[in-house]
A and B are shown apart, each in its own frame.
Chain A
Amino acid sequence: MNLHAPAAKIRTTYREALRMALREAMQRDPRVFLMGEDVGRYGGSYAVSKGLLEEFGEERIRDTPLSESAFVGAGIGAAIGGMRPIVEIMTVNFSLLALDQIVNNAATLRHMSGGQLSVPVVIRMATGGGRQLAAQHSHSLEGWYAHVPGLRVLAPATLEDARGMLWTALQDPDPVIIFEHALLYNLEGELDADAGAVEIDHAAVRRAGSDITLITYGGSLQKALQAADQLAGDGCSAEVIDLRTLRPLDTDTILASVAKTHRAVVIDEGWKSVGLSAEVSARIMERAFYELDAPVARICSREVPMPYARHLEQAALPQVQAIVQAAREVLHRA
């Protein structure tokens, strides 16, 4: 075996990478099962679990009634009972019907029981806008979950993370919520043929740079990378940080970058008010204020329920051009 040979690559999509992760988890651990609305016969509302019912059967690929609170809570109970459930919620807006179980039970049971209980459940859900699905299917509420002690919150933005975060999340003794941006499912690219589990504790520098730091996650990563390309045309070297884990935030990676670039723009598809971008910005202010050459800027979704009409929706979402513009303004402020 030649250890120096380049790893074999496969051409795949984010959706297929998620499916590979599900299949691997099902094969490796008999305690793992998937449940949610239309995960079985229908093949998953985003086709992530397509084919898994045939492969693993109805016991382990469980179609549920439209009862988010009951099946999310059942996932929590089953986790306490020794299983390793993966619960799929169709979209983050629907997860609000299960908020009681996630916030009042999953997040609290370890502490409230004095450390007696572990809740090793993984909850996956689609998030984000851009598909003209209007105000009940398009929001980015990751920040709400990232607010809650007791939860871990992940946002895979790459094929590697789509492939690798699930297994690591399943090994975690605590509840983990995984947000999959719906526009990423069709993302295509190359993945190592032997790609597997990845760590879930750190942010990643997706593009190294020296003049400004673009901090983002999930569905906005590709936009930030495109913005960095454009900024390179101006002769500006932008560093792009993918947060990956929204709780706990890897503050050190953010601070190390800001200490180098002295300027930052935070890009978050959530709303600006009381959101993740506010948290990231506050941490920079608290711990790297004197490193800054300009105030931190934020590009977020406009503060409206997501509209249906395409031009309005696009105007509401963070766009590459707005990121570039914000970066230029930050760069030109002394």
Chain B
Amino acid sequence: MSLPRDSAIALLRQMIRIRRFEEKCAELYSAGKIRGFLHLYIGEEAVAAGVMPALTADDAVVATYREHGHALARGVSADSVMAEMYGKQEGCSHGHGGSMHLFDVALRFYGGNAIVGGGLPLAVGLALADKMQERNRVTACFFGEGAVAEGEFHECMNLAELWKLPVLFLCENNLYAMGTALSRSESDTDLVTKAASYNMAAATVDGMDVEAVYAAAQEATSTIKRLSIPYFLELRTYRFRAHSMYDPELYRSKTEVEQWKRHCPIATFAARLKGAALLDDTQLAALEADVTGEVARAEAFAEAGTWEPVEQLERDVYARSIAAEVQR
């Protein structure tokens, strides 16, 4: 354990926070409080929890539709994320986005993009704006390995490297694009090779190990800021739950899932901390209780939230309201 105790506990706490928050979401989904698509991050918490502390407040984040963990780890409050899940106007996207479109521009958290690969060009543009305005910042762009099959991935890898844009491409390789295994969709499953083919600095890391993720992300961001270049980081991880609440999981075996669960990022890291005498059962229980309280408060906040008046339906389509003109 090379981390100071406080940092290590903070990583553990963040992962537990994401896990318990999402377990509550699944429960609320079954209760009909949350609707639409709900894509759980359970099993992949080490990625968001490990990457975010390597970013500064000035850096930007572009995420996918499986982004509850990223939003929480970036600092979007559990209250406003849960209210968004409910569709309440106290939500971080005013109830317009839901689970797949969490935004908090004050935190430079630019969504929640539900088109696979669709966030990459945005990240390239945010980084271009930084470069042209001579701001030494990183734009961290999360996407799944499924996005690697999209043309936008290749266009963006090329453009970012060609223009030397400070983008941190974070490929969350959980092995399945919905139900399609990587080996069934890519002629070459070595993702780092693909990045390297664009001459991009690239590395791979065990995405189930939060400490390793944090170290790899720090290395990546410092490289980007030092050299003003993009960087590709593959994070090998696994989704324990179904793709969404509608997925019967016909494409993978229960044995495979159980094997991966043995590498649960929370359990393994907690065990490591205990082994290093940085954590005991009492402290862990206190941490769990604290998180449970936060999630319960978020649920209560969302329950108490209010519905946006339907009269405001067409607000925020344009800055200058032209809805009336369009409708006439």
Contact present for B118 and A101 (CB under 8 Å): yes
Segment touching B, from A113-121, A159-167, A268-276, A313-321: A113-121
Contacts of B94 in A (CB 8 A): 113-115
Shortest Cβ gap from A124 to chain B (Å): 17
Instruction: Give Cα distance in the complex from A305 to B121, angstroms.
Output: 31
Residue B126 contacts which of A64, A77, A283 (CB distance < 8 angstroms)?
A77
Contact present for A76 and B122 (CB under 8 Å): yes
Residue A114 contacts which of B103, B155, B328 (CB distance < 8 angstroms)?
B103
Contacts of B104 in A (CB 8 A): 116
Shortest Cβ gap from A177 to chain B (Å): 14
Contact present for A74 and B124 (CB under 8 Å): yes
A251 located at the interface, meaning its Cβ lies under 8 Å from any Cβ of chain B in the complex: yes
Contacts of B122 in A (CB 8 A): 73-74, 76-77, 80, 105
Main SS class of interface, B: mixed
B325 located at the interface, meaning its Cβ lies under 8 Å from any Cβ of chain A in the complex: yes
Q: Which residue of A lies closest to B133 (CB)?
A: A82
Instruction: Give Cα distance in the complex from A69 to B118, angstroms.
Output: 9
Contacts of B155 in A (CB 8 A): 65, 67, 69-70
Contact present for B317 and A110 (CB under 8 Å): yes
B291 located at the interface, meaning its Cβ lies under 8 Å from any Cβ of chain A in the complex: no
Residue B128 contacts which of A69, A83, A100, A283 (CB distance < 8 angstroms)?
A83
Instruction: Give Cα distance in the complex from A7 to B218, angstroms.
Output: 62
Q: Give B150-166 as 1s and 0s: 1 = Cβ < 8 Å from A's Cβ atoms.
A: 01100110110010000
B5 located at the interface, meaning its Cβ lies under 8 Å from any Cβ of chain A in the complex: no
B316 located at the interface, meaning its Cβ lies under 8 Å from any Cβ of chain A in the complex: yes
A109 located at the interface, meaning its Cβ lies under 8 Å from any Cβ of chain B in the complex: yes
Residue A73 contacts which of B91, B125, B318 (CB distance < 8 angstroms)?
B125
Residue A80 contacts which of B113, B118, B125 (CB distance < 8 angstroms)?
B125
Contacts of B257 in A (CB 8 A): none
Q: How many A-B Cβ pairs are below 8 Å?
A: 159
Contact present for B125 and A76 (CB under 8 Å): yes
Given A70-B155, A113-B105, A83:B121 Cβ within 8 A: no
Contacts of A154 in B (CB 8 A): none
Contacts of A33 in B (CB 8 A): 132
Q: Give B77-103 as 1s and 0s: 1 = Cβ < 8 Å from A's Cβ atoms.
A: 000000000000101111111000101
B110 located at the interface, meaning its Cβ lies under 8 Å from any Cβ of chain A in the complex: yes
Instruction: Give Cα distance in the complex from A312 to B103, angstroms.
Output: 51
Q: Which residue of A lies closest to B103 (CB)?
A: A113
B266 located at the interface, meaning its Cβ lies under 8 Å from any Cβ of chain A in the complex: no
Shortest Cβ gap from B193 to chain A (Å): 21
Shortest Cβ gap from A59 to chain B (Å): 7
Given A76-B121, A80-B110, A113-B111, A65:B103 Cβ within 8 A: no
Given A111-B316, A149-B326, A100:B103 Cβ within 8 A: no
Contact present for A112 and B121 (CB under 8 Å): no
Q: Which of A61-79 contact B (CB under 8 A)?
A: 64-65, 67, 69-79
Interface residues on A, range: 35 or more
A104 located at the interface, meaning its Cβ lies under 8 Å from any Cβ of chain B in the complex: yes
Q: Give B129-158 as 1s and 0s: 1 = Cβ < 8 Å from A's Cβ atoms.
A: 110110000000000000000011001101
Shortest Cβ gap from A32 to chain B (Å): 11
Instruction: Give Cα distance in the complex from A174 to B323, angstroms.
Output: 13
Q: Give B185-203 as 1s and 0s: 1 = Cβ < 8 Å from A's Cβ atoms.
A: 0000000000000000000
A189 located at the interface, meaning its Cβ lies under 8 Å from any Cβ of chain B in the complex: no
Instruction: Give Cα distance in the complex from A117 to B109, angstroms.
Output: 11
Residue B129 contacts which of A83, A100, A149, A247 (CB distance < 8 angstroms)?
A83
Contact present for A111 and B92 (CB under 8 Å): no
Q: Which residue of B lies closest to A97 (CB)?
A: B151
Contact present for A69 and B121 (CB under 8 Å): yes
B322 located at the interface, meaning its Cβ lies under 8 Å from any Cβ of chain A in the complex: yes
Contact present for A100 and B115 (CB under 8 Å): yes
B3 located at the interface, meaning its Cβ lies under 8 Å from any Cβ of chain A in the complex: no
Contacts of B159 in A (CB 8 A): 64-65, 67, 70-71, 74
Q: Which residue of B lies closest to A118 (CB)?
A: B319
B315 located at the interface, meaning its Cβ lies under 8 Å from any Cβ of chain A in the complex: yes
Q: Which residue of A lies closest to B129 (CB)?
A: A81
Contact present for A112 and B103 (CB under 8 Å): yes
Given A65-B155, A78-B126, A110-B319, A116:B121 Cβ within 8 A: no
Instruction: Give Cα distance in the complex from A105 to B315, angstroms.
Output: 17
Give the A-binding residues of B (Cβ under 8 A).
60, 89, 91-97, 101, 103-105, 110-113, 115, 118, 120-130, 132-133, 151-152, 155-156, 158-159, 162, 315-320, 322, 325-326, 328
Give the B-binding residues of A (Cβ under 8 A).
33, 59, 64-65, 67, 69-83, 85, 100-101, 104-105, 109-118, 149-150, 152, 172-174, 247-251, 283, 287
Report, nearest first, the 3 A-B pairs whose CB atoms are least far apart: A77-B125, A73-B121, A81-B129
20 example contacts (A-B, Cβ-Cβ < 8 A) are as follows: A70-B120, A71-B159, A73-B120, A73-B124, A74-B122, A74-B125, A75-B125, A77-B126, A78-B132, A80-B125, A80-B129, A101-B121, A105-B115, A112-B96, A112-B101, A117-B103, A117-B110, A172-B320, A248-B326, A250-B325
